[in-house]
Structure 1
Amino acid sequence: MPIISATGISKKYSLRDQQTRRRGLGALFREIVGPTEGDSASVALSEGEFWALRDVDLTVSDGETLGVIGLNGAGKTTLMSLLAGVIKPDTGSVVHNGDVQAVLSLGAGINQKLTGRQNAESGVALRASSIEQREEMIARIEEFSELGEFFDSPVGYYSSGMKARLGFAICISATPQAILIDEALSVGDASFKQKCLLYLEQLRRRGVGMVMVSHSMTSIRQFCDSAIWVHDGQIRARGSSGEVVHEYLQFVEQRQTSSLATPAPARDGNAAPVARSGTRAEPAGSKIKSVMGTAFNAVDRRPSVRALGPVERELHLSGQPGEWIRPEITATEVNELYGRQRPEPGVAEFSAALLVNGQPTNEVWPHESMEIEYRFRLAEPVGNLNVSLVFHKEGSGRLATISTLNQDLLKDQSEAGVVHCRVRIPDMVLAPGNYVVTISIHDGKPYLWRDVILTFRVRTSELLTWGDINLPYSYEVYSTIDEADVE
């Protein structure tokens, strides 16, 4: 049985404040005394009213993670408020078959004049069934929020990040059967966001259903199994998170470039799926039983599979100690320049190498082909493995990212064990200079590990370059032809 079931829910609002207040009082009256004969007329729109949400059906079951995407004003927040029971639908119904907790606004219900502890006591008052449980929940809030001595200080003295810590800790103090999250994790510092994501991942593994609204397509893609696209108050598309995100991004791209109001046509469901691996018999004596290779063709913009030659199958890393030495970049420099260092609770025996012509190096010529090979051991099984290689200009920000999230290349790698990959970059388009590569290893959205892994230099060629990208190009120069010379 679904934890949350919404059937034909609709909600309308008025553009006029007075009419909105009148409709609110009418809804409160119907909630108290029940429907009357004239209620059927309330389904029709009156002058100045509009549908914020119209005829939406959805269900959320144990362990299911549903993403909700769409443009601003599409109806996402209205949908979440209806699912949470904060507001009542004008038509349809929402049924909860269990405890559903909403994290719609981390600051909602927090009294600025009270201390963090007093707010925690107020937040758990109705959810605790005994004094012991109440004290246990308050202790959990104090520990999770990491406010220290400020837990007993007035919230009015808190920074926005401290308020976010307290708000989220109160919301998750009791483990629900389903949780609703409406962009609530867009505030607070990076370490707090990571801690929240790790906790949500633990809840998901314990079978807690989730509905998450986010404008980050990467978050939806990494964290959610399925997704819906809400547009003009209606569900425009539903399915796997990858398919829905792809269709939505196509729509956004068309909307930005041609001002079209209609989404890009859905991909043909009967089209042949993109192949992800190619296997070829290995020569006698080879220690490699099989190899998977996916080549991304920038011209066709479609991945294709090709057989890998003997030289390409010759792996450099073997997992022996001493194969990889971390670049001498301090944790402070990593945090300030290249993102943030993360611990490695789920990764061990990491090694990496930058290769040119199959040999390790730290120098590359412009437009030369290069490879990055990496290898690590998963300390425990994962549910949704993905790895990102991020390129930075030395001392500066991100330039480019290569991720296995495209085509879900590592999603099936669920068991603990060795992960061994090689990334081929056929044309080094970065301008001459020094560069840093970081790796981010994720299980869904939360990190398993993140750190600097390689530094390299793109050598200076005889051609001048400007900027960070050295675009490949060719010139055709035409001389002027005097019309008198043309017979």
Structure 2
Amino acid sequence: MSPVLSVRGLSKAFISYQRELHRILRWLHCPIPAPQYTWVLRDIGFDLHPGEAVGLIGLNGAGKSTLLKIITGTLKPSTGSVRIQGKVAAILELGMGFNHELTGRQNVFHVGGLMGYSPTQLEAFLPDLKDFAELGSYFDQPVRTYSSGMQMRLAFSLATVQRPDLLIVDEALSVGDAYFQHKSFERIRQFAREGTTLLLVSHDKQAIQSICTRAILLSQGQIAMEGSPDDVMDFYNALLANHQEQHIISAPKGDNKALLSGTGEAFFVDICLCDDQQQSIEVLDVGQQVHLKVKARTQTFIPDLVLGFLIKDRYGQDVFGTNTYQLDQVCYEVKENQSLSWSFRFPVNIGPGTYSITLALHSQAGHIEHNYAWQERALIFEVINQSQRSFSGMAWLGGQLECHQHYE
């Protein structure tokens, strides 16, 4: 099956001249001092197939916005090609070309015309578009009176008024209320089921992992990694504090690979999941009390040290996480070569399945500020149901049931 989007050898350089006059002289093919080339994309290549949902992630400045502008035709590449089959809808910026002096209704016809729709088509779309956006009387008010969330409602509703072959969504969906975000993602999922190809640009880990089947990580204008959303997001988390002197390695751990990163100023010595008898366990019963025991050591003086853990399901979704800062147990003035140990005790009130534990040592300001040690998939464990009645879902809530029959 032919790809909906095919990107081949794509590179983009922005040219800087010593003087603006040199730009004009270059157009006239006159000799000028050599301009400076700043490459923001280098040799990007990938395919998106019908019905595929791909997440595009990367740190600020990685080249995501430039790549999207080239794909949508608002910017020309320096080298390479982009080939698209079918209709494209894109939400790259919150305003989406709106005229803030026009009403929402008028902007539908203004921007919709630029998207290639005829006035007759837009008239036919209008009832469904208005119902989906749920702007009420604001639909006939100037867009300048809209909040950012209301602008997003109008932009998304217009971009998705017809199912496109390729839908490109940038960070715009991070704006606005949770209700409309859920509504928007449900429409995206519906489009995907009907064959739409999705390119989602987001820093929202749960959005990438729950919607996308593949992820692409951009770093310094190049594809640094491509693969499953879980693996790519793990690597992306390790890059978040890239301004520090950190090391990133994949260290074998049994049959799994634990992604390690951090400055190394503190490191993990031992990690264990134990039962109440202090025996190491890997298979847990629903509701069982367990102890997560962690030992670490410092290599230098650390003003404040926080240990955090996060439990994820097999899809990479966050199940539960906490840290010693949230529990008012920060370690202050930690000396060089000092050993530390922690023990978290909690009930495993989650459903049967396989889970992983991610560990982090960081400052109380967070891991982006000071990431001393970060270990993805530090432990893998399985939950089975031996002692509870059958139930559905990720969480075990227990509870009591009372049933009364009434007769007239």
TM value normalised by structure 2 = 0.62
CA distance in structure 1 between the partners assigned to 2:54 and 2:21 by the alignment: 31
Choose the corresponding residue for 1:60, options 34, 48, 58.
Answer: 48
Which residue does 1:6 correspond to in 2? Answer: 7
Which residue does 1:219 correspond to in 2? Answer: 207
Aligned-partner residue type, residue 8 of structure 1: G
Which residue does 1:240 correspond to in 2? Answer: 228
**Cα deviation, residue 106, structure 1:** 2.4
Pairs within 5 Å for 1:31-42 = none
1:180-219 per-position Cα deviation (integer Å, ceiling 9, x unaligned): 1121112122222222111111111212111111122232
Distance of aligned partners of 1:180 and 1:11 in 2 relative to their CA distance in 1, 3 Å threshold: same
- The answer on 1:259 being equivalent to 2:245 is yes
Pairs within 5 Å for 1:283-362 = 299-300=270-271, 306-307=282-283, 312=285
Choose the corresponding residue for 1:272, options 255, 261, 273.
Answer: 255
Pairs within 5 Å for 1:51-130 = 51-125=39-113
User: Contact (CA 8 Å) 2:94, 2:148: kept in 1 or not?
Assistant: no
User: Contact (CA 8 Å) 1:127, 1:174: kept in 2 or not?
Assistant: no
SS at match of 1:113: coil
Which residue does 1:372 correspond to in 2? Answer: 349
CA distance in structure 2 between the partners assigned to 1:84 and 1:407 by the alignment: 42
**Cα deviation, residue 132, structure 1:** 4.7
Distance of aligned partners of 1:110 and 1:48 in 2 relative to their CA distance in 1, 3 Å threshold: same
SS at match of 2:216: strand
**Cα deviation, residue 102, structure 1:** 1.2
Which residue does 1:326 correspond to in 2? Answer: none
**Cα deviation, residue 267, structure 1:** 5.8
Which residue does 2:392 correspond to in 1? Answer: 419
**Cα deviation, residue 113, structure 1:** 1.2
CA distance in structure 1 between the partners assigned to 2:154 and 2:344 by the alignment: 51
Tell me how many residue pairs correspond in the alignment.
296
Distance of aligned partners of 1:301 and 1:206 in 2 relative to their CA distance in 1, 3 Å threshold: farther
Which residue does 1:402 correspond to in 2? Answer: none
1:396-435 per-position Cα deviation (integer Å, ceiling 9, x unaligned): xxxxxxxxxx98989xxxxxx9626677xxxxxxxxxxxx
Aligned-partner residue type, residue 165 of structure 1: R
Distance of aligned partners of 1:62 and 1:367 in 2 relative to their CA distance in 1, 3 Å threshold: closer
Aligned-partner residue type, residue 249 of structure 2: P
Which residue does 2:132 correspond to in 1? Answer: 144
Aligned-partner residue type, residue 259 of structure 1: E
User: Contact (CA 8 Å) 2:282, 2:381: kept in 1 or not?
Assistant: no
CA distance in structure 2 between the partners assigned to 1:217 and 1:191 by the alignment: 18
**Cα deviation, residue 241, structure 1:** 0.9
User: Contact (CA 8 Å) 2:51, 2:193: kept in 1 or not?
Assistant: yes
1:346-381 per-position Cα deviation (integer Å, ceiling 9, x unaligned): xxxxxxxxxxxxxxxxxxxx9765342669xxxxxx
Structure with max Cα Rg: 1
Cα RMSD after superposing both structures: 4.1
Distance of aligned partners of 1:301 and 1:240 in 2 relative to their CA distance in 1, 3 Å threshold: farther
User: Contact (CA 8 Å) 1:106, 1:168: kept in 2 or not?
Assistant: no
User: Which structure 1 segments of 5+ residues have no match?
Assistant: 30-37, 39-44, 275-296, 316-365, 376-385, 387-405, 411-416, 424-438, 440-452, 455-487
CA distance in structure 1 between the partners assigned to 2:283 and 2:147 by the alignment: 56
CA distance in structure 1 between the partners assigned to 2:381 and 2:167 by the alignment: 26
**Cα deviation, residue 251, structure 1:** 3.1
User: Contact (CA 8 Å) 1:224, 1:241: kept in 2 or not?
Assistant: yes
Distance of aligned partners of 1:306 and 1:374 in 2 relative to their CA distance in 1, 3 Å threshold: closer
Aligned-partner residue type, residue 372 of structure 1: N
User: Contact (CA 8 Å) 1:4, 1:97: kept in 2 or not?
Assistant: yes
User: Contact (CA 8 Å) 1:6, 1:56: kept in 2 or not?
Assistant: yes
Distance of aligned partners of 1:236 and 1:149 in 2 relative to their CA distance in 1, 3 Å threshold: same
Distance of aligned partners of 1:314 and 1:103 in 2 relative to their CA distance in 1, 3 Å threshold: closer
Q: Answer 1 or 2: higher relative contact order, Cα 8 Å, separation at least 6.
A: 2
SS at match of 1:161: helix
- The answer on 1:165 being equivalent to 2:150 is no
CA distance in structure 1 between the partners assigned to 2:381 and 2:162 by the alignment: 34
SS at match of 2:90: strand
**Cα deviation, residue 59, structure 1:** 0.9
Which residue does 2:198 correspond to in 1? Answer: 210
User: Contact (CA 8 Å) 1:12, 1:51: kept in 2 or not?
Assistant: yes
**Cα deviation, residue 74, structure 1:** 1.1
**Cα deviation, residue 250, structure 1:** 2.3
Runs ≥4 residues deviating over 4 A: 15-23, 126-132, 301-305, 312-315, 366-369, 406-410, 420-423
CA distance in structure 2 between the partners assigned to 1:197 and 1:273 by the alignment: 32
User: Which structure 2 segments of 5+ residues have no match?
Assistant: 258-267, 275-279, 289-342, 356-378, 384-389, 400-408
Aligned-partner residue type, residue 264 of structure 1: I
TM value normalised by structure 1 = 0.52
Aligned-partner residue type, residue 59 of structure 1: D
